[in-house]
Amino acid sequence: MAELVVYLAGEFLAETAISYFAIGKEAMFLRAAIRAGSFVLTTKAAQSMGLIGGTAANELKGQTINVRSSTAPRQLIYGQSLVGGVMFYAATTGTNNEYLHTVFGLADHQIQSVEKVYFGDEDVGTVSGNVSSGRYSGKARIQNKTTGGTAYSDLVTETASLTNKWTSSHKLTGISSVYVRMQYDTSVFTSIPTVRALVKGKLVYDPRSTTTAWSDNPALCIRDYIMSDYGMRVTADEIDSASFIAAANICDETVTASGSVTQKRYTLNGVVDTSKSPREVLQDMLSTCAGMLIYSSGKYKLIVGAFSSPVQTITVDDLRGDVQLSCANEKANLFNRVSGVFADADKLYSATEYPAIASSTFKTQDGGEELTAQLDLNFTTNNLEAQRLAKINLLKSRQGIVVNISCKPTCLNITAGDVVALTISQLGWSGKYFRVMEWRLNEDIGVDLVLKEEDSTAYDWSTSDAQDGAPNTSLTLIQPQAAPSGLSATNQNLSLPDGTILPAAHISWNAVSSAYVTGYELQFKLSTDTVWQSLFTSQTVYDYVGQQEVALVYNIRVRAIYSDKEAP
């Protein structure tokens, strides 16, 4: 464990006290993990000097192109997003094959609506019927189906004479799609354009109203995904409805983003690639709400980014063993600046950098070195919302205290994801907030908890510089402590049996009144030297004997050694 040290400098007679402290860094990097009692899955934590979802820009670009493949993974659309889709069908008709017919699959589910259709980056002006204005007037026809079940009748009729015709059996059951017919005209089409659709996606169940409708609420979208065949196939009985309802309400809260601009606290808008693992998908989805998905006591519980009052105050009377803690992040896991990309709805959902969130306070704490982490937000489409999420990640990353405690049965009502308050005076904690990251029932019918420091202000939004709202401790131990006082040295001679007389000094100082003091370090050097020599003692007196018969001038100083291993 780190030692806390205090120096007092002096030359035979005590001089001005010089005191300082240094706390060593011992870190535990907490990751989502399955344990016997519970597991917690969180958003991808931003990693220092590394990329999170480094292919985010490519993923977002890939969602807006047209793909023709029989093995392309199906996709799910939550909230609102711009998609290219998979080309299911292409054929030409007309006297000179002047009509190109194409059908694009949008999602493997019913959608709310197709809001716009684009050729390239240009809005064609309609989502259903003949294009009657703009560049493509009279040269294109658009139809769409929010869910399958019936064939495109115009396409059936117009391709009836073809070998690869579209028939009434081509119903695309359960699939949302767009059908586009373009008429060849070199003055309008210089090439076949990329067809893209702005889609309001999947209908999701809302346990608050017991209705199913379109929503960009992250809690509702996450609930839908984990219950889907492409997700985790969770049953309704395995859902902690109360937590999802509470999370949905928090997501729908209105916050002031900038000046008079208000917005929902959290939204989710994006495309799920079903070839990705559920874990990867959930981490991306959870990033939209600074959330945690918890499995405990047979149920899935969702916690989103907002402070909640502690469910219990834990004191030393609730403990049945030692407290193990790490007090700081290693530099490899520290960062004081967060940057990344999001799917900018104002730029046709292309990958766009949001303004980096940085803290000059944290940079100073990190020795003036800028430590940048990249946080890519594929399911966030608003610039200000992306900045809010980046700041939450920055502030939470600085809460580095992780505590392992073994508790008595008095703590059995605590579950993973709860906030608790710790009151341990020996550590300077009085109602200090922690989030339960792991929960395990032990053989003594108590619980073992892994707790991570929680900052009640981390979820607040302000454009001001980030600050640490949860000081590590209130102990004066981390402030400069009382140094040994009364340092003095009395000259005296030491007579050897052979008659030799050596110069000597009797050194003494006043003890420091603190249970944390484990001893003292006495340092001395010749006044003409630059290197100090050290010796350690548990006493407050020491007799120093010179090695030469001539008198020399020495500098002497002493410090008390404090250890956090000692009980107060």
For residue 33, pLDDT beyond 60? no
For residue 371, pLDDT beyond 50? yes
Reported as a single tens digit per residue, the pLDDT across 145-158 is 999 999 999 999 99
At residue 166, the pLDDT reads: 97
Task: Provide mean pLDDT across the span 92-96.
Answer: 95
What whole-number percentage of the chain has pLDDT above 70? 82
At residue 422, the pLDDT reads: 95
Q: For all residues of the chain together, what is the average pLDDT? A: 83
For residue 16, pLDDT beyond 60? no
Helix axes of 218-227 and 278-286: crossing angle, nearest 10 degrees: 170
Task: Provide mean pLDDT across the span 76-94.
Answer: 96
Decide if 117 contacts 196 (C-beta within 8 A). Answer: yes
Q: Which of 161-175, 177-191, 393-407, 451-465 has the lowest mean pLDDT?
A: 451-465
Helix H or strand E encompassing 220: helix 218-227
For residue 6, pLDDT beyond 60? no
pLDDT band at 530 (very low <50, low <70, confident <90, very high): confident
Reported as a single tens digit per residue, the pLDDT across 267-295 is 999 999 999 999 999 999 999 999 999 98
Reported as a single tens digit per residue, the pLDDT across 409-429 is 999 999 888 999 999 988 889
For residue 51, pLDDT beyond 50? no
pLDDT band at 485 (very low <50, low <70, confident <90, very high): confident
Here the tokens at position 226 are 């984990």
At residue 4, the pLDDT reads: 31
CA distance 532 to 417: 51
Reported as a single tens digit per residue, the pLDDT across 510-519 is 888 776 677 8
Here the tokens at position 113 are 């609506």
Task: Provide mean pLDDT across the span 312-335.
Answer: 83
Could you give the residue ranges of the DSSP H alpha helices within 81-213? 153-158
Instruction: Provide the b/e sequence for 18-35 (b: ≥16 CB within 10 Å).
Output: ebeeeeeeebbebebeeb
Report the largest interatomic distance among the alpha carbons of the chain, rounded to a whole angstrom. Answer: 129
At residue 32, the pLDDT reads: 28
Task: Provide mean pLDDT across the span 387-400.
Answer: 90
At residue 106, the pLDDT reads: 96
At residue 564, the pLDDT reads: 45
Q: Which of 120-134, 156-170, 207-221, 478-492 has the lowest mean pLDDT?
A: 478-492
Decide if 181 contacts 39 (C-beta within 8 A). Answer: no
Task: Provide mean pLDDT across the span 330-343.
Answer: 85
Q: For residues 545 and 274, which has the higher predicted lDDT (pLDDT)?
A: 274
pLDDT band at 132 (very low <50, low <70, confident <90, very high): very high
For residue 470, pLDDT beyond 80? no
At residue 545, the pLDDT reads: 66
CB burial of residue 120 (10 Å; 0-12, 13-18, 19+): exposed
Q: Is 181 left (phi over 0), alpha (psi -120 to 50) or beta?
A: beta
Task: Provide mean pLDDT across the span 526-534.
Answer: 81
At residue 49, the pLDDT reads: 35
Task: Provide mean pLDDT across the span 73-101.
Answer: 96
CA distance 219 to 238: 15
Q: Which of 15-24, 41-50, 80-89, 493-502 has the lowest mean pLDDT?
A: 15-24
Measured over the CA atoms of residue 412, residue 415, residue 420 and residue 424, the dihedral's sign is positive
Virtual torsion, Cα 34, 40, 46, 51, nearest 10 deg: 50
pLDDT band at 321 (very low <50, low <70, confident <90, very high): confident
CA distance 438 to 440: 7
Residues linked to residue 206 through DSSP beta bridges, in sequence order:
211
> Tokens 């040994």 — which residue?
484
Cα–Cα separations (whole angstroms), residue 49 to 228, 297, 358, 359: 35, 37, 14, 16
Task: Provide mean pLDDT across the span 17-27.
Answer: 24
At residue 79, the pLDDT reads: 98
Decide if 535 contacts 520 (C-beta within 8 A). Answer: no
Cα–Cα separations (whole angstroms), residue 322 to 354, 412, 429, 476, 494: 45, 18, 16, 22, 50
pTM equals 0.75
